[in-house]
């Protein structure tokens, strides 16, 4: 039902639910459906933080070097944001 609402293949939706369950973000209560785990928000935030630190920051540093943006320039921009 959810797959149809989103317009995706049912197998894709099942795989997504399985992955979220394996990662502890959701859990299944047989006969009732899926529910969000208590620590799901923390897990998702930690996962996104790791991804940010591993991908966004290195690319930002690369761009800063290419554009001769100093750490002081970045600190000023950060303070203004």
Indicate whether 42 and 31 sit together in one domain.
no
CB 9 within 8 A of CB 24: no
Tell me the pTM.
0.67
Q: Are residues 31 and 20 in the same domain?
A: yes
**What domain range is 69 assigned to?**
38-81
Q: Domain check: are 57 and 25 in the same one?
A: no
Mean pLDDT in residue range 28-48: 95
Residues 44 and 67 in one domain: yes
Please check the confidence at residue 1 and state whether its pLDDT lies above 90.
no
Say if residue 72's pLDDT is above 90: yes
- Kindly provide the residue ranges of all beta strands, DSSP E only, lying in 1-81, ordered along the sequence: 26-29, 33-36
- Region 35-42: mean pLDDT is 96
- Whether 31 and 7 map to the same domain: the answer is yes
Mean pLDDT of the chain: 95
In the DSSP assignment, the letter for residue 44 is: H
Query: Are residues 30 and 50 both part of a single domain?
Result: no
């Amino acid at each position: 039902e959810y797959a149809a609402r989103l317009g995706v293949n049912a197998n894709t939706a099942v795989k997504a639910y399985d992955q979220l369950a394996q990662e502890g973000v959701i859990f299944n209560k047989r006969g009732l459906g899926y529910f969000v785990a208590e620590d799901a928000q923390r897990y998702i935030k930690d996962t996104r933080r790791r991804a940010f630190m591993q991908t966004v920051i290195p690319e930002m540093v690369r761009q800063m070097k290419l554009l001769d943006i100093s750490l002081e320039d970045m600190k000023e921009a950060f303070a203004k944001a």
